[in-house]
Chains A and B, each alone.
Chain A
């Protein structure tokens, strides 16, 4: 079964440093999401892409976070500078179309620790 690939699996960085996460969705999936999951909580949407276009980035802290999906396939999420409060699991998900019409498939995430 096809999977959403994420890397790195774990990342430890010092505050004020830059960090980047990569996601490769399931082939053919037009919609890609980045979620942040703080320990003990549910995932919270950061950004949603439809092909290469941003559909929703209303919850993305744009002063320090950026996301791109240049060719409508894989995606990168960047944080610069990282803060202690950014420590969390960053999950990427993809779906064939929107969530109502096709289920979300999640990757196993990148666990970020900011020291």
Chain B
């Protein structure tokens, strides 16, 4: 089955700086890669996703890049704000199977 590894486990940045979170996956057949944000006491919420036929996708301050050859994908957050502080999870999906999640990155944006 799919295995998704995520790093770093914690990330602290100054407000206004950029943050980058990286994930690698094992199954070359995986074709869908979402990113979720989880705030304290809440369930994960989808923030952006990318499919295997696309190399990059942007949504305002958030972007995701995918390198199928190297089997890794990354989340980029620019101009970070205190409200971006949360735990971020990457995930991968193969065929009909449910998402396999990474272990999470705790992002702290220092004001």
Name the one of A33, A43, A44, A98 contacting B96, with C-beta atoms under 8 angstroms: A98
Q: Give the dominant DSSP class at A's interface.
A: loop
Q: How far is the CA of A55 from the CA of B95 in the complex (A)?
A: 12
Known: A55-B96, A99-B32, A99-B98. A42 touches B104 (CB 8 A): yes
Return the chain B residue nearest A3 by Cβ: B43
Return the chain A residue nearest B97 by Cβ: A56
Which of A33, A42, A43, A106 lies at the interface centre, i.e. has the most chain B CB atoms within 10 A of its CB?
A42
Name the one of A4, A33, A42, A100 contacting B31, with C-beta atoms under 8 angstroms: A100
Contact call A42/B101, Cβ cutoff below 8 A: yes
* Chain A residues, CB < 8 A from B43: 4, 91, 93, 106-109
Q: Which bucket holds chain B's interface residue count?
A: 20 to 34
Q: Binary interface profile of B, 84-111, with partner A (CB < 8 Å = 1, else 0)?
A: 0000010101011111111110000000
Cross-chain pair count, CB within 8 angstroms: 56
Instruction: Tell which of B44-52, B57-65, B67-75 binds the partner.
Output: B44-52
Return the chain B residue nearest A48 by Cβ: B98
Contact call A42/B96, Cβ cutoff below 8 A: no
Contact call B99/A106, Cβ cutoff below 8 A: no
Number of interface residues of A (CB under 8 A): 23
* Chain A residues, CB < 8 A from B91: 42
Whether A40 sits at the interface, judged by CB under 8 Å, is: yes
Q: Which residues of B contact A (CB under 8 A)?
A: 4, 6, 31-32, 34, 36, 41-46, 49, 51, 89, 91, 93, 95-104
Q: Which residues of A contact B (CB under 8 A)?
A: 4, 33, 40-45, 48, 55-56, 91, 93, 98-100, 103-109
